[in-house]
Amino acid sequence: MRKNVMKKFVRNVSLIVLSALLTASSVLTGCGQTASGSKTENSQEKTADNQTTDKKTKAAPEIAGLTYERTLELEYATGFDVFYYEEGYVLIDVHDSAQYLAVPEGKEAPEGLDENIVVIPKSPSNIYLAATSAMALFDSLDCLDSIKMSGTQASGWYIENAAKAMEEGKIVFAGKYSEPDYEMLVDKGCDLAIESTMIAHAPKVKEMIEMLGIPVFIDRSSYENHPLGRTEWIKLYAALMGKDEEAETFFASQTSVIEELKDFKNTEKTVAFFYVSTDGTIVVRKTKDYIPKMIEIAGGKYAFDNLENTENESAAVSLTMEEFYATAVNADYLIYNSSIDSEIKSVDELIGKNELFADFKAVKEGNVWCTGKYLYQATDIVGNLIQDIHLMLTDGDEKDMTFLYKVE
pLDDT tens digits, residue range 324-362? Answer: 999 999 999 999 999 877 899 999 999 999 999 999 999
The distance from CA 247 to its chain's CA centroid, rounded to whole angstroms, is 18
Run of H or E including 93: strand 90-94
Q: By three-state DSSP, how is residue 380 classified?
A: coil
Percentage of the chain surpassing pLDDT 90? 76
The distance from CA 223 to its chain's CA centroid, rounded to whole angstroms, is 7
Distance, in Å, from the CA atom of 206 to the CA atom of 98, rounded to the nearest integer, reads 14
Q: What is the mean pLDDT of residues 232-246?
A: 98
pLDDT above 90 (res 25): no
pLDDT of the residue at 55: 52
Run of H or E including 102: strand 98-103
Q: In the structure, how many helices (H) and strands (E) does the chain have?
A: 14, 17
Q: Judge whether 316 and 284 are in contact, CB under 8 Å.
A: yes
According to DSSP H, which parts of 157-269 are helical? 160-167, 182-187, 203-211, 227-231, 233-241, 244-261
Q: Judge whether 302 and 273 are in contact, CB under 8 Å.
A: yes
pLDDT above 50 (res 37): no
Q: What is the mean pLDDT of residues 37-66?
A: 54
Q: Judge whether 162 and 144 are in contact, CB under 8 Å.
A: yes
pLDDT of the residue at 184: 98
pLDDT of the residue at 57: 63
Domains by residue range for the chain, with CATH: 2-244 (3.40.50.1980), 262-407 (3.40.50.1980)
Q: By three-state DSSP, how is residue 329 classified?
A: coil
Banded pLDDT at 374 (limits 50, 70, 90): confident
Average pLDDT across the chain, whole number: 87
Q: Judge whether 133 and 231 are in contact, CB under 8 Å.
A: no
pLDDT of the residue at 341: 79
- Does this model's pTM top 0.85? no
pLDDT of the residue at 127: 98
Q: What are phi and psi of 201, to 5 degrees?
A: -85, -5
Q: Judge whether 201 and 35 are in contact, CB under 8 Å.
A: no
pLDDT above 90 (res 203): yes
Residue 167, Cβ neighbours under 10 Å: how many?
11
Better pLDDT: 24 or 404: 404
pLDDT of the residue at 373: 79
Q: Judge whether 316 and 308 are in contact, CB under 8 Å.
A: no
pLDDT above 50 (res 99): yes
